[in-house]
Structure 1
Amino acid sequence: MQQHPDTTGIPAGCPAHSNTPLYGPEFGSDPERHYAHLRSLGHSTPVDIAPGVEVELVTSYDASLYILQNPALFVRDSRRWNALNEGRVPADSPALPMMGYRPNALFSDGAAHARLRQAVTDSLATVDQVRLVRLTQQSADYLISRFSSEPLGQAELMAAYAQPLPLLVFGDLFGCPPEIGDRVIVGISGIFEGTAGADEILGGALAELIALKRRQPGEDLTTRLMVHSARLSDEEVLHQLVTLLSGGTAPLTAAIGTSSALYLSDDWPAGLPVEDAVVQTLWNYAPIANYAAHYPTQDVELGGRTLRANDPVLISFAAANTDPKLTEHREQLSSKAHLAFGAGPHACPAKDPAFLIAATAVESLLNRLPDIEMRVPFKELAWAPTPWSRSLITVPVRFTPRAVPSATASAPTASRTAQTVQPSGVPSPGPSAPRPAQDASQYKGGLFSRFRAWMRGE
């Protein structure tokens, strides 16, 4: 009688000798179980990041840190990708927008990376912390004012709060006039929703913004990138903006949504500050779950496996942060030791502002709606079925309906100690049916325009 192997505990769809699919409803429903299975196979193992797209996924904290901090042996330029160059990656693969080469700091190495990275970090360093707190509070007040007076006293925080808040903050920081800001929001939102033509909308809006700043420089991040001593071309400025905007908004959305839900959960210990909820989110629910493709410059032996030159090696920030070998002594580590913001030369350059925005957003929500509570237990919330990000689909809440103060009432509160979060990227929320792009006339009076009008008291 033939003996069948014991596959207890192995995720369905992962029979022996086939890769674990890191996408779809089954993965999204219980990613921790998938990561536990993958860890049982070693420091790294091949997975399918999308249909027909195999990558080596690193789940060990120590191995992840070794790769992230070894840029001579593991580079980021995806033009090396063997399978892509050999025509083995489907042309319509959802992995291509995430892993395909772009002329930005994220996909550059050596001197090219240092030049672009310096322009980004120097520009971000000019952001005033007090102004950032105030802008986040104003954005929070505006969004809360849109749903807090609902007669039923109910809202869905991801769509009503966590998703639009980073877009409002970034639109202002990058100096977008209202009409351009509306189109930037439509473009970025469309990219994550699978809207046809969203890339063109975002690219066109940013090209117009750059042209405007050439004529009328301002005290904003776009202008600072353009006048930096690295002398970026307009094309290079555009690609850095795409990375900062799209790569910053999605992780912040996930961090704000998860941190809010975690803080409001029945299991959250009373008395702990909001910052602790953000830190725990970064450790246990890394907003960028699996990303940062590296390409070995030669065959490398790692944990008993051979990583072939120019085959993609992805870091599972989610699995590395929850590596049992790490969690045994995690209390002795710094709260910043997580890999949610990456590590090494490609670590997120905006980790401190990102942490500040997330913590201020959660605190503002609690201050404006002090009796807010979850309508569903945290453990029953659903996660987006995508390999790239760890983001809640919905965060349903209830509260006592109330009026919200105008924007002029906003002011900075307590200062914070800046901390750390994620690698850059453009996480995709998963497959959805493409929707037609809007024409330009439909952007007028969009979210950013209404926010700016609200700030003016109109």
Structure 2
Amino acid sequence: MQQHNGTGGPPPGCPAHESVKLFGPAFGSDPEGHYAYLRTLGPSATVEIADGVEATLVTNYQAALAILKDPSTFPRDPRTWRALNEGRIPADSAALPMMAYRPNALYSDGAAHARLRQAVTESLATIDVHRLARQTQQTAEYLISQFNGPLGQAELVQEFAGPLPLLIFGGLFGCPPELGDRIIVGLTGIFNGTPGADQILGGALLELIALKRREPGDDVTSCLLQHRAGLTDEETMHQLIPVLSGGTVPLTAAIGTGVALMLGDDKYSSGLPVQDAVHEVLWNYAPIANYAGHYPVRDVELGGRVLRAHDPVLISFAAANTDPSEYRELGGQAHLAFGAGPHACPAKDPALVIAVTAIETLLNRLPDIELRCGFGDLAWNQEPWSRSLVTLPVRFSAPAPLVRRMPAPEARAASARPAAPAPVAAEPAADSQAAAGKKRKGMFSRLVDWINGE
């Protein structure tokens, strides 16, 4: 494996000879400086990814690619994690939600991985990209119509880039409006650390699975249940969680950063297409920045450093993609933003369709949109896992006229399909029942109503 020898000292706030912290204000404000320093230590270095949680971070492109393609030496199953098994990782550690074992394809290897992965990949392959583009455009137009900031202003992370993937995936997976609302609450709560979010998400997904057992449809959930792998309801739930979560947060980052580049980077003012901006995001601002935990089965030497058996090895997709020792073609596909090897992202093509269509729709509907600050003044998150904007403030004049259209067939079907009934303690009065129904309506329900012209 190749070693890149660079120059430079530790980033501000990072004392030499100590593990580098990949979280907090210093890292959030200058991740590239941290990666540059880590490269001076070799193709990998020890980092701290949460308080008291250390891992080896691989920053070299060729080393990262080799590990991603060698699951026999570097399996993904974290149940062998030495420090965790020895009780040295706090139960409430911020690293555990992203690294602890779950019985899904992401954390499996060998035959178990092949079975689960095939079910997920083949189910996602049934997505009609033309319908997906139409759904994305309608969802983007709906969100633009709902901007609720001061006249002519919006904050695009909270009002556009964040909710859009959640709404899209609700439709792809065949969620009736009420269940879609609860799944959105659960997914959002998991990433925000909301107590009880796991239970909300798990309960809603199990209801969705039960519904699709009774009434299969043209959606990813039904395809998973009908796959020849014969997944149980619990197995299906555990496959849905990483697909939903892995398809939402990274897409939010890609859409937000892509919009920021289109508006804040001078080279895009000359008419470069949105697709170029999305590819630049994948190369230079990898939405999943540091992830893909591997646990070597034996001690492995890498560039003069020993990767100890059963200690976590993380891949820095962000650092590997910007490795100065590698030739890069920004329009090319050799970046690692979607991973590589047997655990590569199975939803690359749908993700690109969603990101490009969402940004194009925004720019078409708001032709004079502009940033309310310079690109360099935008704030980024301070966590190790993703590279995403905290806020994206914009201004614009009146949106372009919206062409009136008939509801899409999938929207009509979703609105007509009832959710699984929930038990109630007592029968409320008619007026109270109607008021409660209005109060319960969430984001996905409102989207379906809007598409249907209600």
- TM-score norm. by structure 2 comes to 0.89
* Distance 1:361-1:35 versus aligned 2 partners, 3 A rule: same
Residue 225 of structure 1: aligned partner: 224
Using the alignment, how far apart are the partners of 1:457 and 1:33 within structure 2? 50
Quote the Cα distance in structure 2 between the aligned partners of 1:103 and 1:312. 18
- The within-5 A match list for 1:118-267 is 118-147=118-147, 152-267=151-266
User: Is 1:283 equivalent to 2:283 in the alignment?
Assistant: yes
Partner in structure 2 of residue 351 of structure 1: 348
- After superposition, where does 1:40-119 map in structure 2 within 5 Å? 40-119=40-119
By how many angstroms is 1:405 displaced? 2.2
Deviation, structure 1 residue 406: 6.3
Q: 1:361 to 1:221 in 2, by over 3 A?
A: same
Query: Do structure 1's residue 274 and structure 2's residue 270 form an aligned pair?
Result: no
What displacement does 1:13 show? 3.7
**1:160 Cα deviation from its structure 2 partner:** 0.4
Q: Describe the SS at the equivalent of 2:47.
A: strand
Query: Is the contact between residue 407 and residue 454 of structure 1 (CA under 8 Å) also seen in structure 2?
Result: no
Q: Deviations over 1:135-158 (max 9, x none)?
A: 00010010011118x662000110
Q: Give the aligned partner of residue 433 of structure 1.
A: none
CA contact (8 A) 1:187 1:198 kept: yes
SS of the aligned residue for 1:195 comes to coil
Would the aligned equivalents of 1:179 and 1:449 in 2 still touch at CA under 8 Å? yes
CA distance in 2, matches of 1:284, 1:257: 14
Residue type of the partner of 2:302? L
Q: Give the equivalent residue in structure 2 for 1:396.
A: 393
User: CA–CA distance in 1 between the matches of 2:279 and 2:11?
Assistant: 29
State the one-letter code of the partner of 1:245: L
Q: Residues 305 and 17 of structure 1: is their aligned pair in 2 closer, same or farther, counting only changes over 3 Å? A: same
Higher RCO, Cα 8 Å, sep 6+: 1
Q: Match of 2:50, as an amino acid?
A: A
- The amino acid of 2:391's aligned partner reads T
Q: Distance in 2 between matches of 1:305 and 1:49?
A: 19
Tell me what 1:384 maps to: 381
| 2:433 aligned partner | none
Alpha-carbon RMSD: 1.8
Q: State the distance in 2 between where 1:294 and 1:271 align.
A: 42
Amino acid at match of 2:328: R
Identity in percent: 68
Q: Kindly provide the amino acid, as one letter, of the partner of residue 10 in structure 1.
A: P
Seen in structure 2, the aligned counterparts of structure 1 residues 8 and 129 have a Cα distance that, compared at 3 Å, is: closer
- 1:330 match: secondary structure: coil
User: In 2, distance between residues paired with 1:389 and 1:345?
Assistant: 21
Deviations 1:385-416 (A, max 9, x none): 000000000111111023752662799xxxxx
Match of residue 372 from structure 2: 375
Aligned to 1:37: 37
The answer (yes or no) to whether the contact 1:136–1:169 under 8 Å persists in 2 is yes
Counterpart of 1:397 in 2: which secondary structure? Answer: strand
* Post-superposition offset of 1:266: 4.2
Query: What SS is found at the alignment partner of 2:48?
Result: strand
Match of 1:456 in 2: 452
* Runs of 4+ residues deviating >4 angstroms: 440-443
Secondary structure of residue in 1 paired with 2:334: coil
